[in-house]
Chain A
Amino acid sequence: MSEDIDITQLETPELLELIQDDLYDGLAEEVVASVNELLAREMTPYDVLNKGLVAGMDIVGADFRDGILFVPEVLMAAKAMKAGMEILRPLLVETGAPQMGTLVIGTVKGDIHDIGKNLVSMMMEGAGFNVINLGINTDVDAFLEAIREHKPDILGMSAMLTTTMPYMAVVIEALEQEGLREQLLVLVGGAPLNDAFAEEIRADAYCRDAAVGVETAKKLLAIKRGELN
């Protein structure tokens, strides 16, 4: 539909709304065109990101959580988001815009499932986070190395199997021993997990799906940074 719209004729607030609609519909080219138009109007890259892309992905995330959207729509939205981000990322670095935070994420050792974890990665990127995705079958040394290198705010661990989920506890124990635990939020997810498990292994939270993951990450980070109580 939006190909019929001359975006140069839209007021900026309407254009921001259009970006959100196009993200929702997974229209990458349209999102890119609107991002470029907003930049041409000298909106800061940071505002384009937050008022356009992140606000749009918030809606996608909420509808995914509520069972209105499913994985295919979210993946298409994330692709559109990514296309917009490719333009914004170098500009954000250039302008020294504040970062949402960094996430290191991986599927734990022994487990090769990565659809859910990749969905979380995309949604977190969509929320403006810098994401380092370690892939599948990630052992404790790989997690520790990545944490030392990237100094993330959040560690995300995923497991699809009842036989692999206990490995998350191994990683958390290693973080505690190495004195790295306090600097991080640890979020865990995967089909067989639940809140009680997260509590038992001393993770900060269990996240039922990718949308809840983003919400939880934002909320707990804000609390940790003293922005919320």
Chain B
Amino acid sequence: MPSIHELLEKNGYVVTDGAMGTVLFAAGLEQGDPPELWNLKHPERVAQVHQAYIDAGSRIILTNTFGGNRLRLALHNAAEQVPAANKAAAQILRGIADQSGLDILVAGDIGPTGDVLAPYGELAFQDAKRAFKEQAAALIEGGVDLIWIETMSDLEEVRAAFEAAREVSQEIPIVTTMTFDTHGRTMMGVTPEKAFETLTGFGAAALGGNCGNGPEEIIEVVTKMHAINPDTILVAKANAGIPELVAGKAVYRASPETMANYAVQSYQAGARLIGACCGSTPEHIEAISQALDEYVR
């Protein structure tokens, strides 16, 4: 297994994957159903998405476990499936990555609890941490190479997830990205600078932004973080634009070309792990891979 640094040495950047959830909905996941349960029910369809991203040039792939913590799955009456769904997700991706014969990093995806931590909300820090630990343990047991904490808005929640993963494994690299979608900050008011300081303090292997209101927002985040320390490995994983309405259905309309331009701009701003988030597809990632290859070469 290569490290992030080893992957970076090859090209100077690494292409991550794009969306999982929105692609699975297109593959027939019922509206409102949790994507994570498909790791058990339709592992072949999850594997297909991973394979498509690898074919498109992704070399860091995230497991299909974004909402796979107990607090989220409980809302679907599936809390007891947390260990199985996360372990299966890791094994599915591990299998595909090993089969490929390529240097691929398998990242165990951890998303937010969906609740607000005390004192602002009701969720106790220790309860959040316990939920994250259960998820991280199952991901690591399933064979992930690193833990990828994303779409966070509260630094305390990140700390809960970070500490949880660290308690499961002393050495596994942990990447963390937050969503800066509210007046340039996260929903909870965290600036990119504050996030940088705190997340590097936690010992994040790489950090940055994901999701939110499209590419420009993330480029700004990366620019601000890069200015603090150009040696820190930064992540950019933007949504494929802002959803627009087409005949009553929401559609993400950023074209592969738009996302390719965004990828090059993110690289110029200092991002080195570059991919996409909601609404993106393997086509977008393929365009990103080609554009970065042409630009950096």
| A interface with B by C-beta (< 8 Å) | 67, 69-73, 75-76, 109-115, 136-137, 161-167, 169, 191-192, 194, 196-197, 200-201
Contact = CB atoms under 8 A, between A and B. Distances in A.
A71 B153 CA distance: 10
Given A76-B119, A162-B250, A137 B245 contact: no
12 contacts: A69-B189, A73-B189, A111-B32, A112-B72, A115-B187, A162-B252, A162-B278, A163-B32, A163-B250, A166-B249, A197-B245, A200-B248
Contacts of B75: 112, 136-137
Contacts of A194: 245
Nearest to B25: A163
Interface in B84-140: 114-116, 119-121
Interface string B157-188: 00000000000000000000000011111011
B229 interface: no
A201 B32 contact: no
A162 B243 contact: yes
B40 to A, nearest CB: 19
Q: Which 7 A-B pairs have the closest CB atoms?
A: A110-B32, A70-B189, A67-B183, A162-B250, A75-B120, A112-B75, A163-B31
B22 A162 contact: yes
B45 interface: no
Given A76-B120, A115-B115, 19 more contacts: A67-B183, A70-B187, A70-B188, A71-B116, A72-B188, A72-B189, A73-B189, A75-B120, A109-B32, A110-B32, A115-B121, A161-B31, A162-B251, A162-B252, A163-B250, A167-B31, A191-B181, A200-B248, A201-B248
Nearest to B76: A112
A193 to B, nearest CB: 9
Q: How large is the interface on B (under 10, 10 to 19, 20 to 34, 35 or more residues)?
A: 20 to 34
B2 to A, nearest CB: 35
B82 to A, nearest CB: 15
A165 B252 CA distance: 14
B197 to A, nearest CB: 17
B272 to A, nearest CB: 28
B188 to A, nearest CB: 5
Nearest to B212: A191
Nearest to B251: A162
A75 B250 contact: no
